[in-house]
Copies of this chain bind each other. A is one copy, B any other.
Amino acid sequence: MRHFDMEMNDLKSRLVDMAGLVQQMLKATTDELVSRDPNLSETVFSLEKEVNVQEIVIDDKCLKLIALNQPVGADLRFITSAMRINSDLERMADEAVNISEIALDLLKYPQLKPLIDIPKMVSVVQQMVADSIQAFNKSDVELARSVLEKDDEVDDLERLVFKDLKVFMTKSSDPNTIHTAVDLILVARCIERIGDHATNISEDVIFMVHGKDIRHPKNFK
């Protein structure tokens, strides 16, 4: 195998590993919402540090790969897509940290019994994250497209969550309920964002494989 190909494989496996860290963060932070175990925040914050280091290492690697090998065509698209995916993974990690901070805040208030459709949202988004990175790893355009379809499902679930929480708030003037409901609205928003980043990654995979930009198709009709 050429040295350049080995370096490209190394770049790919670094991104897959980084996605693994992000998936661990997402699991820990959403477990925390259910278990109310504040120790899980520590896990999330410590994983974020690793993700941040990896982001810089990967970016640096991408710049060196371009500068030293002067790639064109599919290789260049792969590297610039990797830079973008790197950035989306890091922003997913930021959102997981946001959720963990809100989870800590939620501990101050009695638990609002149901988390409504938030666990369902989490499960769809976890699948989107797993599929988007698998699509990248295997250059699997079909799998990438299936992620794009799930984004609408997440948006629908988010709307349901908002609707249910508004009903809670209307029925109760207890400040604790209001506070908890607002926190859960912000959690839903963070989860929805993570889904958006998985969508971005999937669009990058399609661009990387086909060399065709599928973002904003409506503008080109």
Are A63 and B49 CB-contacts (below 8 A) given A83-B83, A173-B173? no
Are A170 and B166 CB-contacts (below 8 A) given A73-B67, A83-B83? no
Are A72 and B67 CB-contacts (below 8 A) given A56-B216, A60-B213, A171-B173? yes
Q: Give the Cβ gap from A110 to chain B, nearest Cβ, in Å.
A: 15
Number of copies: 2
A53 at the interface (CB under 8 A from B): yes
A182 at the interface (CB under 8 A from B): yes
A14 at the interface (CB under 8 A from B): no
Q: Give the Cβ gap from A64 to chain B, nearest Cβ, in Å.
A: 10
A34 at the interface (CB under 8 A from B): no
Contact B182–A162 (Cβ < 8 Å): yes
Q: Give the Cβ gap from A92 to chain B, nearest Cβ, in Å.
A: 14
One of B67, B166, B172, B179 near A166 (C-beta < 8 A): B179
Chain B neighbourhood of A72, CB < 8 A: 67
Identity of the chain B residue whose Cβ is nearest the Cβ of A84 in the assembled complex: B87
Contact string, A164-194, partner B, CB cutoff 8 A, digits 1/0? 0110011111110011001001100100000
Chain B neighbourhood of A172, CB < 8 A: 173
**How big is chain A's contact interface, by range?**
35 or more
Query: CB within 8 Å of B: which of A43-57?
Result: 49, 52-53, 55-56
User: When A and B form their complex, which 9 residue pairs have the shortest distance between CB atoms, in order from nearest?
Assistant: A52-B216, A70-B70, A67-B72, A170-B175, A169-B178, A52-B219, A49-B219, A56-B213, A170-B178
One of B70, B216, B218 near A55 (C-beta < 8 A): B216
> Which A positions have Cβ atoms within 8 angstroms of B?
49, 52-53, 55-56, 59-60, 62-63, 66-67, 70, 72-73, 76-77, 80, 83-84, 87, 162, 165-166, 169-175, 178-179, 182, 185-186, 189, 213, 215-216, 218-220
Chain B neighbourhood of A169, CB < 8 A: 169, 178, 182
18 additional contacts, CB 8 Å, given A60-B213, A62-B80, A166-B175? A52-B215, A53-B216, A53-B219, A53-B220, A55-B216, A56-B213, A59-B213, A66-B76, A67-B72, A67-B76, A70-B70, A83-B84, A166-B182, A169-B182, A170-B173, A170-B174, A173-B173, A185-B186
